[in-house]
Amino acid sequence: MASFCAVVIHSNVKSMASTPSTRTLRKVTAATAKQRMLKQLVCSDAPEQALRYYGFQRIAGVDEVGRGALFGPVVAAAVILPEGLDELANAGLKDSKQMTREEREALDQQIRGMALAVCVAEVDAGTIDRVNIYQATRLAMLAAVQGLAMAPDHLLIDAMRLDHPCRQTKLIYGDALSLSIAAASVIAKVHRDALMRELDAVHPGYGLASHKGYGTPEHRRALAEIGPCALHRRSFAPVRGVDPEAELEEAVSAELLFEDADLDAGLEGEWA
């Protein structure tokens, strides 16, 4: 029977239409090209089979969701699957971003039903602001791995390396190539999307249930109109730009950099 856990890491720290620029057109084209490329990749258990050939048995796929959102936690999941993954491949498991909500939720149940161990970890917005989103993502992934009831002997991680003694393989576009990483992607996204729907009732007006905290035009308009709430990531530029407390915080921080005597000396022209 599979063992499941959840880990949460908290911090104590609190127009008129115009023609798109050439730069904008290049960005759209690059994004479209990337999506087309990802759709051509085949998600399989080939990475897992290669690792099993070298004797690894308890292979944990690790992935995150919510890294680019303006609101709420970044969420990571770690999943250890059994050796035979044909069932998941035949069910269409792949990168969670390329599936519908219904497909993800059905696969979430299927993955949990067959997994040897699953753990989900959250790192909240306060910690993200304090340590930065890259480090917060690594913290979430590490917590998910450490929370597994069964110790893995190898980690398959989507584009990251962790401060963990276990042998690791960093796989670029891993959620589109490895079924174990794709499974972690699905588990993490279903968990975070459900959390955003719950928080939409607690923090109404932002449209969290629809955009899940990402920086859509709807979300940015709401930020401009009603300002950020306690769970927004204030270190992210779109949030900081509309945060009424940001300017005051910056002014206070600047004042604290110097002693009064230093400021007086500066006024007297003694800073060369």
Distance CA 238, CA 233 (A): 9
pTM higher than 0.95, yes or no? no
pLDDT of residue 9: 73
Question: Which residues of the chain have a pLDDT value below 50?
Answer: 13-18, 248, 251-272
If DSSP codes are grouped into helix, strand and coil, which group holds residue 169? strand
Closest to 74 measured CA to CA, from 119, 131, 118, 121: 121
- Distance, in Å, from the CA atom of 234 to the CA atom of 130, rounded to the nearest integer, reads 10
Residue owning tokens 């929370």: 147
Which domains are seen in the chain, by residue range? 1-14+33-272 (3.30.420.10)
> What is the distance between the alpha carbons of residues 22 and 34, in angstroms, rounded to a whole number?
18
pLDDT of residue 243: 87
Instruction: Give the model's pLDDT for residue 13.
Output: 46
pLDDT value at residue 268: 36
Q: Are 171 and 181 in contact (CB under 8 A)?
A: yes
Task: Please state, in angstroms and rounded to a whole number, the distance separating the CA atoms of residues 57 and 156.
Answer: 12
